[in-house]
Structure formats: C-alpha cells, structure tokens
Structure 1
Amino acid sequence: MAEHIDVRAPLTLGQQASLINAFGQRDLKAKFNGTLLGWLWSLVVPLVTLGIYAVIFGGLFKMRPPALDNRTGGIGEFALWLFAGLTIWGYFQNSINAGINGLLSSGGLLQKVYFPAYAPVLGAGLAVGIQSAIEAGLLMVVLALLGFLDWSWLLVPVLLALIVVFVQAIAVILAIGNVYMRDLAQLVGVILQLMFYATPIIYVVTIVPESKWGIPLQFVVKHMPVAEYIELFRSLVYMGQVGSLTHWAACLAWAGLAYLGARIVARKWGADLGEMI
C-alpha cells in the first residue's frame, strides 16, 4: 500500500524558502514582461519621483534636511535625505499592495494545490524587496561618493532585517484580512495615501506642532512605526549616527509585534482560503 502523504503537513524551512522564491520569481518575470526598458524601470520611476519631490519641496518650498557639519543643506542634500525616506516608504507601500494582489491572484492555484497563504504574499514582498534593494544600493553609492560613508553603515543590514520582518508581517495580516473583507484593499489604499503625508518623509518632524486639539501631535507623528524605521535609516546612512537605544528598541518591538500578529492571523484565518478567493 502506498504511503499516505499529508499535503498539509508543516513545510520545512527549505521548502518554505523554495515556495516563496518561486512566487517571487513569478512576480519578477511578470513585473517588467514586455516593457522596453525592463529592469531600468526600477531606477527610472524612483529617480523621477525623487526629482519631482526635490524640486517642489526642496526648491519651491525651501525644505531643508537636518543640518550637518560642513554641509550646505542645499537641494542636493535634501534630495539624498528625501531619497532615503522614499526608499523605505516605497518598500512598505509596494509590499502591502503587492502582497494583497499576490494572494488574490493565487486563488485559482490555491483551489488546486494547498500551500500556506503567506507564501504568495512573501513572494510578492521578495520581488518588491529586490527593487528596493537596487534603490537603496544606488542611494548608498551616491552617499559614499559624496563623503557620507561612516561606520554606522555597518548597522544598516540589522535595521533592514527588522524592516523586512515588520513590513512583510503587516502585508500577511492585510492580505489575509482582505480575503474576508474585500473592501479592505480599498481602505488600505486610502490609509496609505494619508500615511504618506502624515509620516515625516518629505518634511522634517520639527515643523509639526507639538500639540494640537489636546493631542501631542509631534510625538505621535514621530513615533509612528514607519516613521521610526525611516528616521533610524536616515540616522545611519545620512547623519552617520547609530541612533538611540530607545529608537532601536522601538523598531525591534514593532517588528516583534507585527510578526506575532501575522503568525496568529495566518494560523487562525489563513487556512482553506481557496474557496474564498
């Protein structure tokens, strides 16, 4: 008698990695398939976005980055400071949108073959992460050529690991939630638009009033999860500072809470989604 194989048995780490990589490769191939520039769009789009924001906010509205010794704080440095924030935000926003779409687009396959709901979400995040890594690499090369290179850069991989855990966990939670409530994807789109301007990406947090309507507004804006990661990333690569222990603790705590939340959601609501998608 043939041995019975439980197709829903827990996957090994190697199997999980292979499955996530397969979904990631699928998304990468589909992303620029048939385009003339191909992977060059990974650089063209963020650079054009950076140029628009730099001219409008750095040139027209005279926004300036935090002051550094022997630096003019001109539009060029504002562009670098801005690019650092846009890189982290772009990874956050694109991973969430891609994760939601990745799970929904896998519905037909999920009806035929069982696999964990988080696999296509993390696969989509892998594809987005490669593009964001190109952007971050470009930023750091330019910063190094301009003399911003500092030993604090050694901590960048640690921070990026925390960012990946936080962002992908949030993506898993929202992707599974969207299966049960399809309006969630639309709501997330609106919230992300509001979050972009509520997060100190294109402006320094010091311009936010300390208190408004009895709310410690500046404190709230400064300590939103994405703002914490952006601020610490800028500290490492732009300011040449390692950041405070409390800042690192906050980033670690957000990543840990998001990871726990994703595990709970995936275990409780992430099974048998094939018939619902």
Structure 2
Amino acid sequence: MTDERDIADSYSDANVLFHVLRHVGWGDLVNVGHFTVPTLPLLVGGVGWFQRRLLRRSLALLDARPGHRVLDAACGRGLSTALLGERGCDAVGLDAQPEQVAEARRRFGSRPNTRFAVADATAPPPSADGVELGDGAFDRVHCLEAAFHFGPDGRRAFLAGCFRLLRPGGRLVLVDFTWRDPDPTTIDAVDPDRVVRTAWHFEQVEPLADYTGKAVDAGFTVRAVHDWTRPVLGLPMRLARPALRVTSTEAGRRVLRLRWPGLRELTRDDWRRVDESVRAHLVWGAACRYSALVLDKPLPR
C-alpha cells in the first residue's frame, strides 16, 4: 500500500488540484461526485451535493439495515460512517490516517451508533481502539473511492481481509476507478510525467477483470457490477474542458474568485499547475472506468 503520509498529502494543499477543489466544495467528502445533465445547475453551489449523491448511491447498494454491524473502510472524515449510524446500523469507521480519524471523531464521534478507529484496511488487526475486528464481526463492509491507493497486492489483501471480517451472507460494496486496458502498466503511457499519480499517490489502477478475479479468489460471489463511468467521469470531463478556458485567463479566474473568495490564495504559478494537472487528468480519466462492485460472502452449503 502507498505510504499513508503520502496519501495524506494528496488530500491537502500540497496537491494544487485538491487546493482548488477544497474551495469549491470538497471537505466532508473527497469523492469525484455523481453528475447528470438536469442537476448541473446545482454546480453553482459547489460540488458537495454531487459527492453526497454518489455516497447515497454507494450506500444503497450496501443494503445495510438497522442492527447491522457495518465497517466503513477508509472512512476519511467520517460522514459516510455517521450516515450509516443514523440509519440504525452499528457503524465503525476505519482509516489508516490518525488525523482523519481525529477529525471524524471531532465531527461525528458523539453521534449514536458511530465509532472510529485507526487501522490499515488492507491488514486489519484483531482489534483497534477498542473496536473488535475479528472473523465474522461485520454484516457489511463499505469502501468508496479509496482502494486505488492500495496497490495490486494491497487490494488483494483488502478483499481477503473483508471476506474474513464478514459473516456468511454478508456484503462488501467496493466503489473504485478501474482500468479500461487489461494491462495496468499502460498507465505509464497515459500518465508519462506522473502528474496524476503524484497528485494522488498511487501506482496502478486495477482492471475490472482483475478486481472481480481477486474477489472470487478471496471467496466472494460477484452479485453485481455497476458501470458509473458516464455520470462520475464522463460528464465531469466534458465540463473540465470549457472550465480550462476559464481558469487559463485572468478574467476567468477573477470571476471564480468572486464566487469562491478562497481561490484568491492561488498564485499565477498555482493556476499554471492547476491547468497542467487538469489536462493530465483528462487523459488519465479517459483511460478509466468507474465501477461499483457488489460482492457477497456465500452462506455455508
């Protein structure tokens, strides 16, 4: 798995693209978001609404019910865990970054049915911060847009660990970027200057067939695979191209600063790096799919 300190840098102003996204709505959540044409006018309020929409769709696949014990793996700042707790689940948010867990506890630690613990989701210990992580301890596991950080071996370990943590009949919902090409090393040609990989600190994106193959190897039944590429990647990429025309001019940046005053922090060199990053992400995004995997642990025969 990528070093946790590096991953933390991805979600800080050390990543100039995150710096911009933070001012236009990223915060409680850091996923890309789920966009449709009729909802685009809501962008004037920032991207937070679209991120929450993606989260709701992900949680719907989980089919978590009151009384279920649910592990929210790589929970970040804890909003997804808190929503599960509000639904009557015994929700545990797990994240390898102590700073994220501290923030999650500050925001949501007093909520009913909601706890947080520091642990690596690819190698969960028997317990962490007083939370049991033993065999069959959970009815559901949820992981939204985090496993691309884990690396190929880390994803295999994560799937095996989730299978161990789930009771028979339990479910894992894993939502992540997947690579269109069956050969993940083709990312070297897609991201030759490592702009995208350096921004988000990862090495390869898992091809979908490899993901489902590793899930089956771990013991899961693949219940469903949903292709969310168009609303999560396709439409935002189409919007990014005209957005570049705005951010590349001083007049355009002035308009953006009027709407989001925090963007005044960015220097001319920062904006140049934003432009470079967005262009690299457009090429990388075209080589990706966005997939939601519903994986069930079979009942004993």
Fold similarity call, TM over 0.5: no
> Which TM bucket (shorter chain)?
under 0.3
Considering fraction of residues, name the structure with more strand.
Answer: 2
Considering fraction of residues, name the structure with more helix.
Answer: 1
TM-score norm. by structure 2 comes to 0.24
TM-score norm. by structure 1 comes to 0.26
Q: Higher relative CO (CA 8 A, sep ≥ 6), structure 1 or 2?
A: 1
Task: Determine which structure has more spread, i.e. the larger CA radius of gyration.
Answer: 1
